[in-house]
Structure 1
Amino acid sequence: MVAAALLLCGCGAGEPDARKPGRTPTAGASEAAAATTSATVEADIRAGMAAGGFDEPRFTRSGANGEFAPCVRTALVSTAEDPDPKDTARLAAEMKRRGWSQTMFWTEDGMQMLSLRKTPWTLDVGGATISKDQLTTPQGEMPEDFTGLVLSVADRDCLDRTYARLRS
């Protein structure tokens, strides 16, 4: 359930972002700028994870999203037990300090979901114990249950360009 929520939040289910209707795809310099921004985004996330006391994430391209894979990065961060919402709140506080806005944070029955945004990026963080048959990574299904955080970071402008290209 957490994995499905992350894939939908992180990639917009393939729909373009409504804030820029009719936008035409661009290439070249804007993509180079996005690559630079990607490094900054990952640095922000690493700082947030450290503030929460979590291990450093190792990001991979999200292979499950086909054409949208260049726009989405995912990471798994194992924890010994279900992540403590207080630790996740410290992660969120550091991200807010770095200019991210929190759009959602809820916890219920050992599960939690945090969503943040820093235009054009979105970050979704889910925490829980996830059954091996509920989570698929770019490398395939997990060999065992997973406890920790699932991160999905998406460049919404990249998603919009890809969607526009696929529709044309």
Structure 2
Amino acid sequence: MSRYQLRIGVCDLVLPFETDPSFRERIEGVHHAFSRSPLVFGDDTVVHTGDSLEEGYERSLDYFADWNGEVTGVTCYNDLVALEVMKGLRERSLSVPDDVSIIGFDDLKLLDYFPILLTTIQVPKYEMGRRATKLLLDQIDSGTDGSAEQIELNAELVVRSSTAPPSEKR
């Protein structure tokens, strides 16, 4: 996701939920993407949003209060946070993607009904559920507590109208 934004020339800002177990992995992924670019990944690249949508909205309002055009993209924890950020940008009279590109995570079908289609990460929800069910049934059948097993599934970037290269921006 961040590699895509870097490839189109977007300076990225990350809005994570610190309470999510994948928080560190997502930040490390963004850091890795930045390490392959001329851009610097600093402490100010991550804007901590707490664990509520309202905090994501409020933090985006605060962050973009004195927007100077330097940050041209935001990677959000999920699609709902992306909607809150878009709301905050609209209240600051900033346009998505003309001023700031937005990427979410989850590919919520509900977002197909919004005027700006969100670029997002599509996760294989059905496959996640199928594998979790299989692990649980195997654990029940074996009569053991089971050990934690980490399974990685591929996610897919779905590019829509909420992102644009800076050359296409004002």
Normalised TM-score (structure 2): 0.26
Normalised TM-score (structure 1): 0.27
- Ranked by relative contact order (alpha carbons within 8 Å, sequence separation 6 or more), the top structure is 1
Q: Which has the larger radius of gyration?
A: 2
